[in-house]
Amino acid sequence: MFTNFALIHVQVLLGGLIWTVVLSLISFVFGGLIGFALALAGVSKVRWVSRTIATYVALIQGSPVLIIMFVIYFGLPILGVEVGSLTAAGIALVLFSSAYLGTIWRASLQSVPKTQWEGADCLALTYAQRMGLVILPQAIRIATPPTVGFMVQIVKNTSLASVIGVVDVTYVGKQVNAATFQPFTTYLVIAVLYFCLCYPLSVLSRRFERAYSVSHR
């Protein structure tokens, strides 16, 4: 028996949206921490370090997030490690964002001219001082627009978690659709909900881009 799409369904969807947000935040925060470490190591002059990082990034970027999720969700239990769907989705999305954020940030670091690194070295700054006082402030400017842009990708990719049973807004949407059989309305509402998460990020990204191109400071 089908029920009509109603306000109650929107409320249920909003409940799912919370998990979408939680997954996004987990991916961004932990992916960001790992990505930052990857970026720093990626500009290392020690060959094997930067090569190892490059291999890791290539592996992650070379496979769909969904497959990474399957490997963790269905693969790890075979090795005797039980993982819940939320954990599996979280790990996969963290791996995914760490690889991309690591790449974005490494490129940002490298786009700070070599002469700036040398200038800091010549003033006898330590590694941490050089990074914190000279390189990062300049790299952050370059990195902000693509980083915020990538956050949109993270939010959208969390919808894949529904496939392994995370009760995010997409998963709830499928249930609502099954109950109401009004796919157009249901998925339109879901699209609007994702849009409400992503659009502010896009606006923010564009605003940063403009701010930094006007004053280069």
Partner 1 sequence: MSAIVKFDDVHLSFGALKVLKGISFEVQKGEVLVLIGRSGSGKSTALRCVDRLERINGGDIVVCGRSISDPKLDLRALRQDVGIVFQSYNLFPHLTVEQNITLAPRWVKKVDRATARAEALQVLRQVGLEEKIDAYPEQLSGGQQQRVAIARSLAMKPKVMLFDEVTSALDPELTGEVLKVIEDLARGGMTMLLVTHEMAFAQRIADRIVFMHQGRVWEEGPRTLLADPQTPELRTFVGSRH
Instruction: Give the interface with partner 1 as residue ranges (CB under 8 A).
Output: 115-116, 118-126, 129, 133-134, 137-138, 141, 216-217
- How much of the chain is helix, strand and coil, in % rounded to 5? 85, 0, 15
Amino acid at 28: F
Residue placing its CB nearer to partner 1 in the complex, 123 or 191: 123
> Which distant-in-sequence residues (6+ apart) come within 8 Å of 27 by Cβ?
90, 93, 94, 96, 97, 154, 157, 158
- Angle at CA of residue 134, ends 128 and 137, nearest 5°: 105
Minimum CB–partner distance for residue 119 and partner 1 (Å): 4
- Structural contact between residues 90 and 26, judged by C-beta atoms closer than 8 angstroms: yes
Mark out the alpha helices in 43-84 (DSSP H runs).
47-61, 65-70, 76-78
The CA distance from 124 to 114, in Å, is 16
Minimum CB–partner distance for residue 135 and partner 1 (Å): 10
DSSP state, residue 3: -
Residue 136 backbone phi and psi in degrees, to 5? -60, -45
How far, in Å, are 88, 112, 156, 168 from residue 198 at the CA level? Answer: 23, 29, 8, 16
Residue placing its CB nearer to partner 1 in the complex, 11 or 115: 115
The CA distance from 136 to 127, in Å, is 12
Residue placing its CB nearer to partner 1 in the complex, 36 or 212: 212
Residue placing its CB nearer to partner 1 in the complex, 116 or 202: 116
Minimum CB–partner distance for residue 94 and partner 1 (Å): 31
Minimum CB–partner distance for residue 132 and partner 1 (Å): 9
Minimum CB–partner distance for residue 47 and partner 1 (Å): 15
Residue placing its CB nearer to partner 1 in the complex, 59 or 123: 123
Residue placing its CB nearer to partner 1 in the complex, 134 or 190: 134
